[in-house]
Amino acid sequence: MPLAVIQLVSQDQVQVNLDRARALLEQAAEAGARLVVLPENFAAMGRRDLADLGRAEAAGSGPVLPWLQQAARELGLWIVAGTLPLPPDGQPSGKALACCLLIDDQGQRVARYDKLHLFDVDVADGRGSYRESDDYAPGARLVVADTPVGRLGLTVCYDLRFPELYAALRDAGAELISVPSAFTALTGAAHWQVLVRARAIETQCYLLAANQGGLHPGGRETFGHSAIVDPWGRLLAEQAQGEALLLAPRDAAEQAAIRQRMPVHQHRRFSVSSALRSSAPE
C-alpha cells in the first residue's frame, strides 16, 4: 500500500481546483494508495474571501467538505485535506483557522489540526510581506491519529521550521508526519528540502510533504518539490513543479530497525517540556 502525496498549482476557482485534485486522487486509488496528502490551500489560492468560504463550509453550504467526503468514500482513500479556512468547532462566527482535516475512507472526519505557527514574515520576493494572522487565528494543540498505514502526526507548512513540534509528535507515537504546504519560491529554494529531510531524520518518521508548485493569482509563486522522505532521510519521490502524484511504500520493518539501531528518542537528555519545568521558579 503506497503512501501518496499530491502537488497542485491551485488557482482562485474552487471547482476547477477540486476537479484537478479529484483526477489525481483517482490515480492514487488506482495505484493502491490508502492515504493521500493534499497541499495547503488546495481548494483556493489568491482569494480575499477565504473567510467567507470557510463559514459557508462550516454552515454546510460550501462545496469542499461534501466533495472530500464523497471522494474518500468512492475511492476508498484516507485523505489529509491540506488546509481549509474553517472557524473553530462550535463557533461559526469565530475567526478562521488554517484547518487540516483527516477524512477516513467512509467519508468521516477522524481528526482536525489547526495550524499552530502562522506565517507572519517579510520575504524578499515580489509580494514582500506575508501576514497570515490578518486572516487566521493560531491553533492550540498537536494532533496524532491512527490510520491504516501507521500513526500519523499532522502539521502544516510554516510548522516545518519548529522542530520541537515534530519531537512532540514523535513523543505521541507518530510514525508518519504530513506537511501540506504552500512554501514561497524564495524560502523554498533556500530551506524546503533541508527542512523536510531534517524533520524526517530527527523523528525517524516518514515525511509526506505536499507542496503547491507554480504560479498563482496575485503574483504568488510557490516552490513545489513535494516529496516523500523515509525515516533515514532518503528522498523516495519528488516533483519539482506543476501538478503531480507521488507514490512510495512504507517499510514498517525497516523503520523499526532504524529506530532500534539508532535509538535517538531514548538518548535524548531533555525535552522541551522538561526543560521548561526545570527552569520554573520554585
Query: Which residues are marked as active site?
Result: 40, 115, 157
Identify the H or E element spanning 275: helix 272-279
Tell me how far apart the alpha carbons of residues 7 and 146 are, in angstroms, rounded to a whole number: 24
Smallest CA-to-CA distance from 204 within 160, 173, 249, 238 is with: 173
Q: How many angstroms separate the Cα of 78 from the Cα of each of 33, 71, 119, 259?
A: 9, 9, 27, 26
Residues contacting 275, CB < 8 A, separation 6+ = none
Burial of 275 (0-12, 13-18, 19+ CB in 10 A): exposed
